[in-house]
Amino acid sequence: MLRRMRDLALLLRKKRFRRGALELTMPEAVLEYDADGRVSGAHFAENNLSHQIVEEFMLAANEAVAEHFTRYEVPFLRRVHPAPNEEKLEAFGQFADLLGYPIKRVQDRFELQRVLTETADKPERAAVHFALLRSLKQATYSPIQDEHYALASQHYCHFTSPIRRYPDLQVHRLLDKWIKTGSASANTEELVALGEHCSKLERRAETAERELVKLRLLTYLSSRIGEALDAVITGVADYGFFAQAERFPAEGLVHISSLVDDYYWFDESSHTLEGRRTKRRFRLGDRVRLVVARVDLQRRMLDLRLADTHPKAEDDRGDALPNYGRVPKSGRRRK
């Protein structure tokens, strides 16, 4: 049965991609705790075949319920994800082209998925996938029919988590009434208000979750000043570059003031910092060896520096590196 489940899930997955669904790889931070409840480490959540089997069946269940209510014209709380603005897609296309992944038509979801697939195992994966995510609109709850852009689904709802999401519970109640009586109904105006309320609280809950994970990660790192990390550059600006640890879910800033071996200038068109004398470059997607330089718990910020440079004397007093560092958002994929 498990093998048949696997085969069916892979068929559903292929069908989803054939209709233009997008697969954004957003790794989730998982905290590790010791016997006393303190954070003892962290890692990226695994997404293997067993997870994909469960996810495909959940997506199929969500679509089946939405299609059922649509067929019988029963108002319900949909999960909608409107198409992105053309301007934002164009900006993403220019960004991908700079990294060597030209897109012929940014409105073509198959072209977007091609870039996501090509970068899935590359150092620039995080930068590309996050850039596309920022180009998309937020998914919301609404009874008004609209597609789910990322899933390429015309009829979709949240049905599979009634014990933790109120929109799912609302759909369950409608379905329960349908099964018992053969009919069901809901007030569309009430569903509009409910959808706005649930969408607002969802965003608030996600923000609270990210802040908690960020605080606990930074608390853990505050006792590991000087620890070395292998990282990938995920963003470049005129004041330095951001880097994501490869095996640890933390991102911080290497401020330009800590690059003491040369004077670095910022090339916005190529997302590069380059030394005028040494011609040393720091580009989006480059791998670098860093050390934890400073943690600011109050401001939720992480400063990093290159492992092959030595901090200035004032760094020891905590005055050299401005507080621009950050820890990434939790990457849970919410459909």
**pLDDT at 209 (0 to 100):** 94
Determine the pLDDT at residue 311. Answer: 54
- How many Å apart are CA 271 and CA 237, to the nearest integer? 7
257 phi-psi bin (left φ>0, alpha ψ -120 to 50, beta other): alpha
Are residues 18 and 78 located together in one domain of the fold? yes
The tens place of each residue's pLDDT in the chain, 335 residues long, gives: 999 999 999 999 999 999 999 999 888 889 999 999 999 999 999 889 999 999 999 999 999 999 999 999 999 999 999 999 999 999 999 989 988 899 999 999 999 999 999 998 888 888 899 889 989 999 999 999 999 999 999 999 999 999 999 999 999 999 999 999 999 999 999 999 999 999 999 999 999 999 999 999 999 999 999 999 999 898 899 999 999 998 888 899 999 999 999 999 998 877 899 999 999 999 888 889 999 999 999 999 999 999 987 555 444 434 433 333 444 444 444 45
Same domain for 214 and 298, yes or no, is no
Q: What is the CATH number of the domain that holds 257?
A: 2.40.50.140
171 and 57 within one domain: yes
Report yes or no on 103 lying in a domain.
Answer: no
- Note the pTM of the prediction, 2 decimals: 0.83
Residues 33 and 144 in one domain: yes
As a whole number of angstroms, the distance between CA 76 and CA 74 comes to 6
In a domain, 198, yes or no: yes
What is the C-alpha to C-alpha distance for residues 15 and 12, in angstroms, rounded to an integer? 5
Looking at the structure, do residues 22 and 166 belong to the same domain, yes or no? Answer: yes
The per-residue pLDDT for 324 is 38
Q: What is the DSSP letter of 15?
A: H
Buried b (16+ CB within 10 A) or exposed e, 283-308: bbbbebebbbbbbeeeebbbbbbbee
Q: Which residue has the tokens 């329960």?
A: 176
DSSP state of 67: H
- The answer to whether 225 touches 294, Cβ cutoff 8 Å, is yes
The residues facing 80 across adjacent strands are 140
Say yes or no: 12 and 159 in one domain.
yes
> Which residues touch 115 (CB under 8 Å, ≥6 apart)?
96, 101, 103, 128, 132
Element (H, E) at 78: strand 78-80
Q: Rounded to an integer, what distance in angstroms lies between the CA atom of residue 31 and that of residue 252?
A: 18
Asked whether residue 150 falls in the same domain as residue 267, the answer is: no
Are 79 and 181 contained in the same domain? Answer: yes
- 287-296/301-306 β-pairing: antiparallel
- 178 and 61 in a single domain? The answer is yes
Domain end marker among 183, 199, 218? 218
The predicted pLDDT at position 270 comes to 78
In a domain, 329, yes or no: no
* Same domain, residue pair 162 and 282: no
Q: Provide the number of structural domains found in the chain.
A: 2
Query: Is 265 inside a domain boundary?
Result: yes
CA-based end-to-end distance of the chain: 27
91 domain-assigned? no
pLDDT of residue 28: 87
Pairwise CA distance, residues 41 & 35, whole Å: 13
**pLDDT confidence of residue 331:** 41
pLDDT attached to residue 25: 84
Tell me if 39 is assigned to some domain.
yes
Residues 20-38 as b or e (16 or more Cβ within 10 Å = b): bbbebbbbbbeeeeeeeee
Task: Give me 292's structure tokens.
Answer: 């934890």
Exposure string (b/e) for 145-161, b if CB count within 10 Å is 16 or more?
ebbbbbbbbebbbbbbe
Check residue 102 and give its pLDDT.
94
Domain boundary among 150, 183, 218: 218
Interatomic CA distance for residues 74 and 30, integer angstroms: 39
Residues 32 and 15 occupy one common structural domain: yes
Residue-range definition of the domain harbouring residue 263: 226-317
pLDDT at 126: 83
Query: Dihedral, CA atoms, 108, 109, 115, 120, nearest 10 degrees?
Result: 180
- Judge if 20 and 71 occupy the same domain: yes
Q: Which of 197, 218, 239 delimits the end of a domain?
A: 218
Q: Per the domain annotation, does 289 fall within a domain? A: yes
In a domain, 127, yes or no: no
* Helix or strand (DSSP H, E) at 208: helix 188-221
What pLDDT sits at residue 319? 40
